[in-house]
Amino acid sequence: MTAQEKKKKYFFFVNDEKFDTDEEVVTGAYIKSLIANLPPGSGLEMEGQGNDPNKLIGDGDSLSLKLGHGQGPLRFTTVPPANFG
């Protein structure tokens, strides 16, 4: 295992694809920047944990990837750009 692989200790999922990072706190914009071929204007929705509802995540919203006791990794779904008109 390389030093680079050891450094990455946080992860999350977007549309069932796993992403690794060494950042404990990330923003919606950071998450979206890692998604290949994401259409401009796409949104991001975080899956609720337990009975919590899903939540739309803005580009400036900060999220901790640190897992607490009994918590699973954060899971997100991309939301297509809104089509008004």
Query: How does residue 3 score in pLDDT terms, banded at 50, 70 and 90?
Result: low
Going from N- to C-terminal start, the domains of the chain cover: 3-79
Residue 72: per-residue pLDDT: 85
The residue among 75 and 68 whose pLDDT is bigger is: 75
Query: Given pLDDT bands bounded at 50, 70 and 90, which one contains residue 64?
Result: very high
Q: Looking at beta carbons, which pairs linking 32-36 to residues 24 or more positions away fall under 8 Å? A: 32/59, 32/78, 35/78
In sign, the C-alpha dihedral spanning 39, 60, 45, 68 is positive
Does the pLDDT value for residue 15 go beyond 90? yes
Is residue 58's pLDDT more than 70?
Answer: yes
Q: What's the pLDDT score for residue 55?
A: 96
0.75 surpassed by pTM: yes
